[in-house]
Amino acid sequence: MKINIYYGGRGLLDDPTLYVLDKMEDVLKELRVQVKRYNIYEHKNEIATLPQTFKDADGIILATTVEWLGIGGYMQQFLDACWLYGDKNKISELYMQPIVMSTTYGEREGVLTLTNAWEILGGLPCPALSGYVESLVSFQMNSEYTLIIEKKAENLYRMISQKMKSLPTSNMAVKQSVLRTQQMNLTPQESEQLSKYVSDDSYVKQQKEDIEELASMFKDMLGKTAGEDREPFVKDFESHFVPQDDFSATYSVTIEGYKNPLYIAVKDDQLEVHYGQSNDVDVYAKMSVDVLQSIVDGRMTFQRAFMTGEMTAKGNFTTLRMLDQVFLF
């Protein structure tokens, strides 16, 4: 059995949550559980990739400290990343125990926030551990408190090992009937790749600049129409090619129903388009014949097809966006 711990506090020496986690780890390790702790503040530049660590875990602990109000920014960012980039199928079978210690008011509200969030994500919440700590030394010296913590660790182990079920909650009903998220129908592998891009600050900055620069251009291009259809699309790309200075890229477009992908190579004012396999391609894309036909007819752009999920792609996303500049349909 493996349990991951995600600590959302600031790592202060007098943080009572750290003491609780140390006791929990000791008990779990005695039960031969593999425990791995992730201090979110140490991964603040890569929080978007942390949900990928759920892969081989049987259960997790979400731990944080209420120092003045709420569960804190690090834990909230982590939950946002779970919603945006986490594998929902994996989360649906993952047990989660919330641990919230408070040096002020609000530990119960913190537990409720974590529990509600995990239920809406589709996961399996376990009984929580929470408490108010006025003096860390007095808290550590109290043997009854230590016993409570140890019992909570044992109960978590028992619940995961026996795969105990719980009654359905209204949060799940709300999620199924009301809540909707805008998704691009990405596979877990594509979500993992996207989360890595998002965690890269330089990529995010460049992405924002690109979106602002291309927004007006895409708006104008949506209504444009192209010439008549000429299968198998090679002549369409050749006739609508717009050379770009100091730009070179290679694309491989897999068209459903076609034996070989469409290979496109651009280098300054030179263009090569043919069907066939090729290695070392910058961008791999996949779409149906109807979607590609809509693009060459001017009824859709590559960017719009990607954002709506009608075209899947992997590789350099900046190079992918250049398709709509290199080929004006």
Within a domain: 54: yes
Within a domain: 146: yes
Domain of residue 74, CATH code:
3.40.50.360
Both 221 and 150 in a single domain? no
Whether the Cβ atoms of residue 96 and residue 138 lie closer than 8 Å to each other: no
Within a domain: 193: no
pLDDT at 224: 42
Both 204 and 165 in a single domain? no
pLDDT at 209: 77
Domain of residue 301, CATH code:
3.30.1050.10
Cα gap 240→249, rounded to integer Å: 17
- Best CA proximity match to 253, nearest among 291, 280, 293, 283: 283
Tokens coding 312:
């899947």
Both 153 and 229 in a single domain? no
Q: What single-letter amino acid sits at 141?
A: M
pLDDT tens digits, residue range 275-295? 988 878 999 999 999 999 999
Within a domain: 185: no
Both 26 and 172 in a single domain? yes
pLDDT over 50 at 139, yes or no: yes
pLDDT at 262: 93
Task: Give me the mean pLDDT over the 193-209 stretch.
Answer: 71
pLDDT at 92: 93
Within a domain: 117: yes
Whether the Cβ atoms of residue 87 and residue 37 lie closer than 8 Å to each other: no
Within a domain: 95: yes
**pLDDT-wise least confident of 5-14, 220-229, 261-270:** 220-229
**What's the Cα-to-Cα distance from 21 to each of 175, 218, 329, rounded to whole Å?**
31, 51, 59
pLDDT over 60 at 265, yes or no: yes
Within a domain: 221: yes
pLDDT tens digits, residue range 17-66? 999 999 999 999 999 999 999 999 999 989 999 999 999 999 999 999 99
Both 285 and 155 in a single domain? no
pLDDT over 80 at 197, yes or no: no
Whether the Cβ atoms of residue 152 and residue 20 lie closer than 8 Å to each other: no
Share of the chain above pLDDT 70, in %: 86
Both 149 and 211 in a single domain? no
Domain final residue pick, 145, 177, 209: 177
pLDDT at 249: 93
Higher pLDDT, 56 or 227: 56
Both 173 and 258 in a single domain? no
Both 132 and 206 in a single domain? no
Both 236 and 285 in a single domain? yes
pLDDT at 329: 87
pTM above 0.85, yes or no: no
pLDDT at 226: 39
**Please, which pLDDT band fits residue 211 given cuts at 50, 70 and 90?**
confident
Task: Identify the bridge partners of residue 96 per DSSP, sorted by sequence position.
Answer: 60, 125
Q: How many domains does the chain have?
A: 2
SS3 8: coil
Q: The tokens 């075209």 sit on which residue?
A: 311
Within a domain: 272: yes
Average pLDDT, the chain: 87
Both 172 and 226 in a single domain? no
pLDDT over 80 at 304, yes or no: yes
**Please, which pLDDT band fits residue 213 given cuts at 50, 70 and 90?**
confident
Both 65 and 153 in a single domain? yes
> 117 is in which domain, residue-wise?
2-177
Task: Give me the mean pLDDT over the 164-190 stretch.
Answer: 67
